[in-house]
Amino acid sequence: RPGLYLVWGTSMLLAEAPKRTARVFREAIERKISPENEPTYYYYLAGALEMDGQTDAALEAGQAALKASEKTPRREYGRAAGTA
Digit-coded pLDDT (tens) for 12-63 = 999 999 999 999 999 999 999 888 899 999 999 999 999 999 999 999 999 9
pLDDT at 81: 52
Is the predicted pLDDT of residue 78 greater than 60, yes or no? no
CB 33, CB 2: distance < 8 Å: yes
Which of the four pLDDT bands, split at 50, 70 and 90, describes residue 83? low
